[in-house]
Structures are given as structure tokens and as C-alpha cells.
Homo-oligomer: A and B are copies of this chain.
Amino acid sequence: MTGQVRTVDGRVAGRRGQETRQKLLDCLREMLGSSPYRDVKVIDVARKAGTSPATFYQYFPDVEGAVLEIADSLAKESGSLKELVQGKSWAGKAGRATAEGLVDGFLTFWRRNEAILRVVDLGAAEGDKRFYRIRMRILNSVNNSLTESIKELQSKGRVGKEVNPAAMAGALVVMLAGVAGHQKGFQPWGVKQAQLKPTLTQLVHLGVTGRKPAA
């Protein structure tokens, strides 16, 4: 479907080339975890990968281009997140467990890919369409299934009509993303990890069902 991997100058990349390309992506990913995005230089990535800057430019137009590549693969991977919500019940104790699982799964996913998601967030906030398309794809799986859940509850009359399902799902997802990206930011307020999750669980449950979760 995606055709073959191509170099910037149009050649088709072979086995060896793809390996080099992948190595560059891996190194970039690692560097993003340890130094500020603004300071990541092509030459450093190339050095770390044991190759030269010129090679980097054969496979990517610039650092941003390479980040987009990584983010894209992340977007594909994120499809599995919808299983955190799809087909789960929001009633009684099961509802609480669903909310808990969603919070937990989402936070874990975010933390695992922190470095890339930071850059995606920035790009999207800056209005770059390529980045916010990817951000949307990543959040979409959760957002869509949450929207469905709320719509369903609404049709059963268990949630008020004043709620806009898509808006509510979006707000909750953005909240989770925001918290995941700034977990350290809670420490100065004296909030520990262990207290954060129950709170988020409660909020998600409240948002989706309009009711507090069962004990």
C-alpha cells in the first residue's frame, strides 16, 4: 500500500539502505529523549548512528521530516488503544474498571512514547497540519470509541441530552494527554502518582456517565 521506501532523490531503498535509515530513526528517537528538540542536530544523529550527515539527508529532508516518520509509525501502533474502551461496560463496578483501564492504558502508552509525543504536540499546537493530523490519528482511536460509548448511553437515556458526545470525549482525551505529558508537574503541588490515577478515573467516569463510579 505504502509503495517502497524512497530516498530523497527518488531512488528505491534496498535492504542495506533501509537498515541505515532505521538506525538513523532509532538514534533520533533516543536523542529526543535526552536533549531538547530545539538542540537536536543532524550531525549528532548521524554521528551516533555511525554515519555522516550527508547520509541522513539522503533519507530525510530534515530533522522534522524524520520525526514525522517516527510519529507516523506511532500513529499506526496507537490503533490498539481503542480496545481500552470498545465493547466495555460503563455500568456499576464494571464501569469503574473500564475507566480505570482506560486511564492506566493511556498513561502507559503516553509515557512509553513521551519524547516523540512532545514534539508532535508542539508541532500540532504550532499549527503544522502534518503534525496535527498525526496527533488526531493517535487520539482518534480512543476518542471515537469513547464518543460511541457516550452516544449509546445517551440513546438509553442514561446520559443527558445536553452533553455533546464528541466534545466530551475530546475533552477527556485531551485531559489524559495533558496529564500524561506533565506528570512531573504535579509533584510541586504535593500530588503523588498514586493519587492522580483515582482522580482521573473518577473524572473520566463522571464525564462519560455523569455519575460517580461505584465503590
Interface residues of A (CB under 8 A from B): 36-38, 64, 114, 118, 121-128, 132, 135-136, 139, 143, 147, 160, 162-164, 166-172, 174-175, 177-179, 181-182, 184-186, 188-191, 195-196, 198-200, 202-203, 206-207, 210, 212
- Give the number of copies in the complex: 2
Residues of B near A139 (CB, < 8 A) are 185
Q: How far is the CB of A154 from chain B (nearest CB, A)?
A: 13
State which of B118, B167, B169, B186 has its C-beta within 8 Å of the C-beta of A170.
B186
B-side contacts of A147, CB under 8 Å:
189
A164-B199 contact, Cβ under 8 Å, with A174-B175, A174-B178: yes
Residues on B with C-beta less than 8 A from A174 are: 175, 178-179, 182, 185
The answer to whether B160 and A189 have CB atoms under 8 Å apart is no
Q: With A164-B191, A166-B195 given, can you name 15 additional A-B contacts, CB distance below 8 Å?
A: A36-B126, A38-B38, A118-B122, A124-B182, A136-B185, A160-B212, A163-B199, A164-B195, A166-B191, A167-B191, A167-B195, A168-B202, A170-B185, A170-B196, A171-B199
* Cα–Cα, bound, A186→B124 (Å): 12
* A118 cross-chain contacts in B, Cβ below 8 A: 122, 125-126
Q: Which residues of B contact A177 (CB under 8 A)?
A: 178
